[in-house]
Amino acid sequence: MKQETKKIARRRFLAATGGVAASAIAAPAIAQSMPALKWRLTSSFPKSLETIYGATEAFAKAVAEATDNKFQIQVFAPNEIVPGLQAFDAVSDGRVEMAQTASYYYFGKDPAFAFGTAVPFGMNSRMQNSWMYFGGGIELFNEFYKTYNVYGLPAGNTGGQMGGWFRKEVKTVADLKGLKMRVAGIAGVVLAKLGVVPQQLAGGEVYPALERGTLDACEWVGPYDDEKLGFVKVAPYYYYPGWWEGGAMLHHFINLKKWEELPRAYQSIVRTASEMANVWMQAKYDFENPPALRRLIAAGAKLQPFSQEILEASHKAADEVYAEFKAKNANFKKIYEAMMAYRNDQYFWWRIGEYPFDNFQIRYGARN
């Protein structure tokens, strides 16, 4: 009996070691079958925004490591290949294989592009991720992006943003009238209904415009990035919340033909590395924003909440803008209805499971 047991054990050992040997032989064969590829990725964001730009560098590094450097993606800053706001177009027409950008930058092509990043009174970042990965969002957007010869994947999020920097206090809707503010996209359309005069300026132009008084206010991102641009020196009133960007999602856009030509293993690696970049970016912002906000307050920032009057008027104006776009744009209507239905269902849960806990912690637990 003992002899028979030894024979069985020996057979199992040989089978196991044979399996290891087979794996050792097969692995290099698989690696050898993977093609060597070199892609270019153009970003809409400067290297100085190292949390956004850094996320896509981390993505490229992850892809290289997962493929033993057979698939290399070189990241380029704006103007190294094309200007920042032409990143999507460069992917669409095949000048580059990939881009890292914000979908809502292309709002002028079709207002439906706005939903890929953020819209006024839309979803927070966790809701966006849930919708994208499990609620059909990725599929819905790629049905839309396909008409531009592009495939898109979520690749980062700033989380909730601030409402911006103002040279003077704004307490009522009347205080907004005639205010020249650097703000774009649907947020600009909404604020225009309240009397704001939207301005579209590149980041480097905003500070001097505020300093000269040709601009009265601006929105950018949040404390960590805002601090670098020095807005606190010329527009000390720092408002919140940024109701037009409850969570600003960034994308990796890939030329559709190039995406379809990728081996399935590479497609899987790109998806996984993009998901990593998505988590990486918001985690870094969550790490950097609290100390940056404290530094801004110490430097003279006057932290102010938007009044209930302004928030309610903004919400009403947003509903009017959505109704107008839905009436004339089928893409906008389809994505808007899907997003809002998902958001409302999410808030059913958040009212029970998320908000009461956070609200208590903010009022009581955070004091300890």
pLDDT value at position 32? 62
Cβ-proximal residues to 203 (8 Å cutoff; 6+ apart), any chain: 46, 220, 229
Q: Around 190, how many Cα atoms within 13 Å sit in the side-chain half-sphere?
A: 24
* 305 domain-assigned: no
Range of the domain at 112: 36-157+247-286
Question: Cis bond leading into 28, ω under 30°?
Answer: no
pLDDT value at position 26? 41
State the residue for tokens 């989380």. Answer: 159
* 107 domain-assigned: yes
State the residue for tokens 């033909």. Answer: 257
Confidence bin at 364 (pLDDT 50/70/90): confident
* 62 domain-assigned: yes
| Cα–Cα dist 179/166, whole Å | 9
Question: pLDDT of 203-252, one tens digit each?
Answer: 778 999 999 999 999 999 999 999 999 999 999 999 999 999 999 999 99
Write the CATH number for 79: 3.40.190.170
Question: pLDDT of 160-189, one tens digit each?
Answer: 999 999 999 999 999 999 999 999 889 999
Q: Two tokens at 247?
A: 């969570």
* 1 domain-assigned: no
Judge contact between 310 and 163, C-beta under 8 A: no
DSSP 194: T
pLDDT value at position 346? 96
* 269 domain-assigned: yes
Cβ-proximal residues to 101 (8 Å cutoff; 6+ apart), any chain: 43, 44, 45, 84, 87, 88, 250, 251, 253
Average pLDDT, the chain: 91
Q: How many domains does the chain have?
A: 1
Q: Is the pLDDT of residue 144 over 90?
A: yes
* 70 domain-assigned: yes
* 75 domain-assigned: yes
Q: Which residue has the higher pLDDT, 31 or 334?
A: 334
Question: pLDDT of 103-141, one tens digit each?
Answer: 999 999 999 999 999 999 999 999 999 999 999 999 999
* 256 domain-assigned: yes
